[in-house]
Amino acid sequence: MQRSRQSSTLPRLQRTVGSEALLKGIGLHTGYPANLLLVPAPENTGIVFRRTDLDNFRIEAKRAHVARVSYATTLMKKGVMIATVEHLLSTLYGLGIDNLFLDLDSMEVPIMDGSGRHFVRAVERAGIREQKALRQYLLIQEPIEVRQDGKVAGVYPDLQPSATYLIDFAHPAIGTQEIHLALDPDSYRREISPARTFGFVSDVEYLKQSGLIRGGSLDNAVVLDENGLVNNHLRFPNEFVRHKLLDLLGDISLVGYPIVGRLHAEKAGHAIHTALADKISRSFHKCRICTLPELEAALPIETAS
């Protein structure tokens, strides 16, 4: 019997949730209350926000709608905005959810605890349901990179979806950190989703004057001063780089297809992440859109004993 190395790890069919799931919280930057309802969506819908406070106005989670990338990723369509989408989109990408309506009654996704953990739990409460349509993947065939001022984000050919991230902060509690991870739903749940966003006390006054982090607190971020952690614990020794990878996956999901390739980022952030998503979307001559059966037929196969 012959089998592809991919067949046991990549979903063959498109997926949505099995039922609705509700999350309640506040926006990190606006401080506004926000209710988010995950709603099953038909095949080939994609990930679609619906502003329930604005007659269910739809904003598709695509790189064409990226409006701002300063301290968070914001989508905008015809003047209607949804801010801080990256943690939620990262979770859906990491868990392999293709089709979903995200009903939101505010202009910002609730921050919850600053990680993806609450979004994972909501998806798990709702259950994951396979659909009839085949899932489409973006197979990377040539390198695609964005480089700017020592920052790098790229994606490279590889038959196993994976990601590497490297950060280097002068702060003694962070320093140089690196993570390399094969990407699948189990590794995302365990290794990435619990990692929280982080910030510095020295930036607080500037951010507040800029109208940001009005909902920020020690309950939804890891906070550092010049001496170290203000919060008294980390969930991982390298939680900082894990969260940067969480952000990268949320931003790269805006390409619109799950990627078969190796993601790599160094000292990057939302601006470089979304620039890479944009460049991938404009470089389909370096990629191939294919279903899993097409991918398996094109790849070397191995004989199972």
- Which residue type does 207 have? L
**Six-digit token pair at 134?**
């085949």
Cα four-point dihedral sign 152, 84, 259, 124: positive
Measured at the alpha carbon of residue 240, what is the angle toward residues 237 and 244, in degrees to the nearest 5?
A: 140
Tokens encoding 305: 């004993």
**Catalytic residue chosen out of the listed positions 29, 270, 273, 285:** 270
**Length of the chain counted residue by residue:** 305
Rounded-to-integer distance, Cα 217 and Cα 204, Å: 11
Nearest partner of 107 among 55, 40, 52, 45, judged by Cα: 52
The reply to whether 273 belongs to the active site is no
Task: List CB contacts of 260: < 8 A, sequence separation 6 or more.
Answer: 6, 10, 137, 138, 139, 140, 158, 159, 161, 295
Q: Which of 119, 123, 95 is nearest to 34 (CA)?
A: 119
Active site residues: 270
